[in-house]
Structure formats: C-alpha cells, structure tokens
Chain A
Amino acid sequence: MPDWVTHICFGYLIACLMNARVRPVILGSVLPDLSKLFMIFTHFLDHFKVLNFFLPFHTIFGSLLSGALISSFFKHWKETYLMIIIGLLSHFALDSLLYPFGNLNEFFYPLFTFETHGFIWSDSYLPAMVSIPIAGLVWLKRRFSSNTVF
C-alpha cells in the first residue's frame, strides 16, 4: 500500500476534480486498508488464517459491502455510498501501480486473481511527495475561495 496520506490526497484531488463531496471520498479512499488489521492479530494468531480472513476488505466486493455498511449510518446514504465508491476506486487505482517485480492482485477475489507489475515500491515516498503539495495547493485555493474546510 502507499501510505494513507497519499491515498487521502489522491482521493481529495479526485473529489475536487469531480466536484464531489470530499469527506466521503476521503473515507472511501482508505477503507480497503481495513485489511491491514491483520498486522495486529498476526502477532497472536496464525498468520495465514488472519491474512486470509481480512483479505476480503481489500477486494472490490468486500469494500463495496463495508462501504454500504458505513454509508447506512448517514442521512443521504445513496449519495454518500457513491462518494465512498469513488474513494474506493481511487484506492485500487493507486494500489495497482505498486510492486515493479510483480504481485498477486486480489482485487477481484473470489472471481479471479492475476499478477500485476506496477512501477512504484510500496515504501516509496515519491507518491506522497507529489500528491501532498498538489493537494495542499488545491485545499488552500478552495479554503480561501469559500468557507469550506473539507
């Protein structure tokens, strides 16, 4: 995964480009990384069981389900759900750019999986260095042209 700051900045930029509500897009852009909860439980339980149990959160179907659950707590749930889906797609788009040597892409599990070759390493700070200034500039522009914070 790229870091969450990059995911948030990317989601924010997409929301601004689409003139969408920013906050649900930001929430959606980190939602698939709920699967990273395995990092906590792997210290107590069998690694592969924990890894496979949390895997569905990092798939399109699993994240659509978790997005539906979260959006059900909001008033305009259809609109919120749509914004969360935009965030989810931005997350998967960024993640598919990772691992230049190849990696198993589980986004469409359980239908099919395939191997992808991206061009950014997961620990690279380049995406953050690019996305943070751009998102910061856009945020400043929006902040001073209107009264919205997010």
Chain B
Amino acid sequence: MEKIWVFRMMILFSIILFCSYALEHPLYKPLNLYVYEGKEYYLNNFVVNKKLGPNVYEVRSKYGNQSAIVRINSVLQKGQMVSFFGYVNDGVLIAKKYHIHDYPNFPVYFSFLALPLLFFVFIKEWRENRRFPRA
C-alpha cells in the first residue's frame, strides 16, 4: 500500500474516532428547561404547535421532536417559526424578546444553488491539480 493511502486511512480513522467520541460525550441533549430554572435562556427556531391558554403556547423544535412551553405577550400563529429569549420559571420560558422567522427555509433552499458551482469548482480543481494525473 502506498504511503499516501496509509495517511488517508489514518485521517479517516481519526475522523471516525472523533465522531464516535462526540456520540459518547454528546454536546446536544434533549431540551429540559428545568435545568435553566431562574436563568435566562433562548430557544432558536421553534415552530408554534398549539395555543395552551392566553399568551401561552406549546412550541416544537424543527428537528428532534422536542417541545417547550412559552409565555409571551403577543399573538402567534400555528406553524410560525419563532426564536425566543427570556427567563425560565417553573419550566416555562417567559419570553422577553422574540423573533418571527419569515423565511425559515431560506438558507437550505438557497444553498442548493451553490451545489452546481461547488461541483464545477471541485471538478476544475481536480482536473488541474490531482495527485496522479492521467498519462
């Protein structure tokens, strides 16, 4: 086996090792607002699921099926994606500030435009600068 392939396998092994480490020592855990009791906290990109009472809403995360209860002095519509900032009281986020995301999927859809460009750039770089050019 060529030395370069040994190097690549080592790097690949390191990446897999790092990913496994992150799996064993997770940074992102299921949301539990009671952990932040009395402290300021934020919820980014949560979708309004239903109205539980006057000014009280249940919100759900875009991924992961997590939910939280938010009290806010404003009227929200079901399906709106909102970010909240406030303090936690009895497991409920009392929102001081909020931001309604008008175009929540903009970065994902707009990023698809970059894919052909990236493909073009990669192919061009590969043709001109690959390690073992064709004879």
The interface residues of chain A lying within 8 Å CB-to-CB of B1 are: none
In the complex the two chains form, is B44's CB within 8 Å of A5's CB?
Answer: no
In the complex the two chains form, is B27's CB within 8 Å of A76's CB?
Answer: no
The interface residues of chain A lying within 8 Å CB-to-CB of B133 are: 75
The total of interchain contacts (Cβ-Cβ below 8 angstroms) comes to 151
Smallest Cβ-Cβ distance to B120: which chain A residue: A150
Contact-residue size bin, chain B (C-beta under 8 Å from the other chain): 35 or more
We find that the number of chain A residues with CB closer than 8 angstroms to chain B is 56
Tell me, rounded to whole Å, the shortest Cβ–Cβ distance linking A67 to chain B: 10
In the complex the two chains form, is A30's CB within 8 Å of B99's CB?
Answer: no
Alpha-carbon separation in the docked complex, A61 to B14 (Å):
10
In the complex the two chains form, is B22's CB within 8 Å of A75's CB?
Answer: no
Partner of A101, one of B18, B84, B110: B84
In the complex the two chains form, is B19's CB within 8 Å of A5's CB?
Answer: no
The interface residues of chain B lying within 8 Å CB-to-CB of A103 are: 42, 44
Given contacts A26-B118, A75-B129, A150-B121, 19 further A-B contacts (CB under 8 A): A2-B107, A5-B110, A5-B113, A8-B114, A24-B125, A38-B63, A51-B28, A53-B19, A56-B19, A62-B15, A65-B14, A69-B8, A72-B8, A75-B130, A99-B83, A101-B42, A104-B28, A125-B103, A150-B124
Contact surface of A with B, Cβ cutoff 8 Å: 1-5, 7-8, 23-24, 26-27, 30, 33, 38-39, 42, 47-49, 51-56, 61-62, 65-66, 68-69, 72-77, 80, 99-104, 106, 109-110, 113, 121-125, 128, 149-150
Contact surface of B with A, Cβ cutoff 8 Å: 4, 7-8, 11-12, 14-15, 18-23, 25-30, 42, 44-45, 63-65, 83-85, 97, 99, 101-108, 110-111, 113-115, 117-118, 121-122, 124-126, 129-131, 133
